[in-house]
Homo-oligomer: A and B are copies of this chain.
Amino acid sequence: MLKAAINAELLKDSIASLAVIVDEVRFRINSEGFTVKAVDPANVAMGIFELRSAAFDEYSADECEIGVDLNKITDLLGIADRSDTVRMELDEVNQKLLIDVGGLSYTLSLLDPSTIRAEPRVPQLELPAKVVLNGADLRRAVKAAEKISDHMLMGISEDTFYMEAKGDTDQVRLGMGRDQLIDMKSGDACSLFSLDYLSDIVKPTNKVNEVTLSLGRDFPILIDFEIANGAGKISYLLAPRIESD
List residues of chain A with CB under 8 Å of any chain B CB.
Answer: 72, 75-76, 79, 102-109, 137, 140-141, 143-144, 147, 169-176, 180
Contacts and interface: CB of A to CB of B under 8 A. Distances in A.
20 contacts: A72-B170, A76-B147, A76-B172, A79-B140, A79-B143, A103-B137, A103-B174, A103-B176, A104-B140, A104-B141, A104-B144, A104-B172, A104-B174, A105-B172, A106-B144, A106-B172, A107-B171, A107-B172, A107-B173, A109-B169
Nearest to A75: B147
Contact of A173 (B105, B108, B170): B105
A17 B4 CA distance: 41
B147 A104 contact: no
| Copies of this chain | 3
Contacts of A174: 103-105
A145 to B, nearest CB: 9
Nearest to A141: B104
Contacts of A172: 76, 104-107
A107 B141 contact: no
Contact of A106 (B79, B104, B171): B171
A171 B106 CA distance: 6
Contacts of A173: 104-105, 107
Contacts of A180: 103
A103 B175 CA distance: 7
Contacts of A104: 140-141, 144, 172-174
A109 to B, nearest CB: 4
